[in-house]
Every structure is written in C-alpha cells, then in structure tokens.
Amino acid sequence: MPVMTAGPVAAMHNVHKDDKTAAATAATTTLSTPALPAIPPPSSLRIMPAFSEEMDALRWNTVLQLFQRSHQNQHIETFNTHTKHHQPTKMVNGLMVYYKMDANEFILQERFDLQGRLVDPIRDVGVCIDEKNWKDYLGMGAAYYKPYAEFFLRLLLKDASSNDAIKKTATDVLKAYLPTLLVGGFTGTSIYHPMIHLSNGILTGHAYIMAQGLAYFAYSSTPVVKELAPMPTDEQDQASIIEIMQDAREEETFEQLSSHLKADFQSRMKRIYNSPPFLNPIIEIASQWHIGSNEKAIDDAAKELTSAVAVAATTTGHVFPHRQLDFLLNHVLIATPHLWTLMPYLEMKDQQALLRRFLITFLACYVCQGRPMSHPEQLAEAYITPSENDEDPFDNLSTSPPLSTSPTGSLVAPCTPSARHREWQRLCGAPIHLGDDLHAIEAAMACKAAEDRWGDHGGAWMRCAKVVRASESWDVQGVGWGVATSFALEEEE
C-alpha cells in the first residue's frame, strides 16, 4: 500500500518549525486588495432572515468591508497562548456565522475587533510564486501565506469584469489546482480549516476568501498518503463506516496512544501521522470503504460519512458530572457541509479520493480521541415526541427525557414546517450574541445543512443539533479516554 513513511512526514513538520522562525523575523507587510465588482448579499445562506433587503445589504456591506481589512492586514492563523499552537483565525468563518444569524453591523464590528487583536500580522519572505514554481513551496509553512495568496488571487482575477466572470475563472482555477492541494490538505494542525475557509469563499463568490483558502491549503500541505490504495471490489472485503469504526475500536495498537494523554490533541495527531504503527492501521482499516462511480453513489457515500461523523460527535460524550462533547470530533462535524461545496469542482475519481481522505482524517481524529463508543439511543433524549405523552408535557418535567429540558430549543419535537423552521433558528443561535460559542453553533448549522440536503431522517439531524446545544462544555482530552476535562471557550479563543 503506497504510504509515506514517518521520516518524510517528520521532515515536513521540521520545515514548518523552521519556517515559523522565518515568519517571525520577516518584515511585516500587507496584501494587495485589487478592486472587485460589487458582491451581492448571499441571502440564500441565511438561517435567520433579514428584516428587509435594505438591512440585508447594509449588514453584508459591513461584512465585505471587514473582509477587505482582514485580507489586507491579517494572517490566516493566530497563536494560541494557552495551547502554544498556531491555529486558524476564526475571523472569516465567524463573520459568516454572524451574518447567517442576522447579527447587526455593530456586533459584526465588535467580533472583528475582538478577533483582530489575536491575529498574526502578514509577513514577507521575499518569494514570488507563479505557475512554474507553485509546487516547490507546498507544505513550507505559514511564512509562505502571502506569496501563495497573491498567486491565487492573480489567477482568480484574471478576468474581474463581473462576478460571473470571476466565478467562471474560479471554476477553472479550482478544477486545475484542487486535486493536487487535496492530497495534503487534511493533516497537520490545520486539519479541515483550509477546506472550511475555501468553501466560504466559494459560497460567497469572494475572490479574496477563495485565494486565502487556496493559500492555506498550499502552505499547510502535508501529504501523509500520496496515493490511495485501490478500493476493494469484492463485497466480502468491503465495510461500512460504522464497521470500520468498530475495527478501529478493536485494534490493540492504538492503546499505546494512552501514554500521550498529557499532550494536547494537536500533538497526538502529529504523533499518529509521524508513526507508521499508528498511521498504517488507520489507512488499512479505512481502505475497506467502497464508493461507487456515479453521482448517486457519491452522494450516498457523502451521506454515510456525514451520518457517521454526526453520531460520533454527538453521542459519545460524558454525561456525568455534566454533559461534555468531544471538541475535535465536533470540528469534523463542522467541516462536513464544506466538503460538499468542493466536490462539484472535481472529477468523479477525485471526488472519491476526497471522501476517502476525509474518512482517513476522521478516523485519525477518532483514534486520537480514544475511539469512543457511540450511543445513538441518546438522541431520543433530545425531545419529547407528541406520542410519548398524551398530557401536557409541561405537567411533569421530572419524567421528561434528560436533554429535552435544555434551555436551547423546544421541549417537544416540532411537528409542523413552521415550528421546525423556528426550532432550527433557535438551535443555530438566534438571537446571536457576541460571546456565544461559535463551535456549538457551527455544529448545529452542519446538522441543518445535512437535513437540507438529505431530508429530516426522522428528525435525527435536529436531535443531533439539540444534543450539541444542550452540552455544557467541551472535552479536548478525548472522550474515549474516559476522563472528563472541562474546557472553557475562552481558553480556545
């Protein structure tokens, strides 16, 4: 099976380490902000509708101004003083979440100011990247953000005469460069963040954000698996993702990770990627997944993958002394709808490869966090269904399912389209405030996106979202390791 050994991967991380020094000593600079056509509000992305078209335009204009300021002056990563890791800035994604929930322009500005104090400045390493040398600097680290962003922005704005022209050019750029970038796009400390960032650019049609996402893919590239093994053709050699997760639970090699529990999950993920005894079983187990070669098969595979991620993220948490969900597994859930955004720009074989690489990284996260046992039956605790109680459900709250009394969302499962619409608005954060937990809101939004794409599935997607919003804190140690570790949002911020 063609797999990169630990040596090259370790060397790649050493380059990142050396390059952080280069980035720190390079001169501070800015990115160019070439003029763009007026970008209309992406109103279809809203979960909370605007009061009027005028208010929608006003708030979107505020977002565009902040996008420009961020693009010109701020790096796509920030240094976390608590974890001592560089992590993705939540500037663009945060602004998009607040826009979807109809935050006013004052809250948008406050969010920008709050996050802006933490973001690294852009630095210049004196390199010009073009079509001939763009592969030479892949995976060379954050110091190369500026030249990569400038390179991709030049490509995207080859014809900037209109938004339609930019979208047409963007389609060509994505088809040309994504297959290479995705090979190393889901590793390192960034994991799924380049995909999330690029997806936001595609969904809004904003060239700045697309260029940033492509640059993020490029400088953080770490191709652990350069070439995927052929998919099994014999049905006896194939396995569903749930079966694959069970195989991972039964693999005794992964128990050795317990000696690294004092390390944060970023360090454990690097340990997995740099160690063939951990990495090779993950790749071998994941290779049992078979994806058909037609549009329906691809969509079915995306649904199976999203469902497995949702169950792992929402039904594996601690319930005592208070409910905690796994921080890393919920990051994977947040990324799932952005996966679908990229797929139309890929050929069938590359769509299959994207899904398989996403699965490998999800499985690595699952192993990193202790391979927790899923409990789908917990989803039944999210709501009282009308058939469960013929009397008024408020008469005896002591016998209600535990999560149904969460302050976020309804007590009783909504039955009508209008009630479901209002419930989704509550679960996704309405009314949104500056200090809200964006990770929980984004996880709920991912569940809503799944329902929008594949139907309500008996209310399962909404129940997953309710479980996320009913949880009191995050566990970063790994819920599968059995020790609850409360983690306050401000520590991650």
Quick one: average pLDDT of 409-424?
A: 92
DSSP 123: E
DSSP 232: P
Quickly count: other Cβ atoms within 10 Å of residue 449's Cβ.
18
Query: Do the bridges between strand 123-124 and strand 486-487 make them parallel or antiparallel, or are there none, so unpaired?
Result: unpaired
475 beta partners: 326, 486
- Give the residue with greater pLDDT, 222 vs 483: 222
318 beta partners: 324
Quick one: average pLDDT of 338-365?
A: 96
Quickly count: other Cβ atoms within 10 Å of residue 42's Cβ.
18
Strands annotated E in 316-359: 324-326
pLDDT band at 204 (very low <50, low <70, confident <90, very high): very high
pLDDT tens, position by position, 11-58: 333 344 445 455 555 678 899 999 999 999 999 999 999 999 999 999
pLDDT tens, position by position, 88-117: 888 899 999 999 999 999 999 999 998 888
| Residues contacting 410, CB < 8 A, separation 6+ | 383, 419, 423, 426
Is pLDDT at 282 greater than 90 in this prediction?
A: yes
Is pLDDT at 392 greater than 80 in this prediction?
A: no
Containing 77, the helix (H) or strand (E) segment is: strand 74-80
- Give the residue with greater pLDDT, 312 vs 20: 312
**Structural contact between residues 406 and 423, judged by C-beta atoms closer than 8 angstroms:** no
| Per-residue pLDDT, 439 | 94
How many Å apart are CA 346 and CA 168, to the nearest integer? 15
pTM score above 0.85: yes
| Per-residue pLDDT, 7 | 36
Is pLDDT at 241 greater than 60 in this prediction?
A: yes
**Structural contact between residues 3 and 278, judged by C-beta atoms closer than 8 angstroms:** no
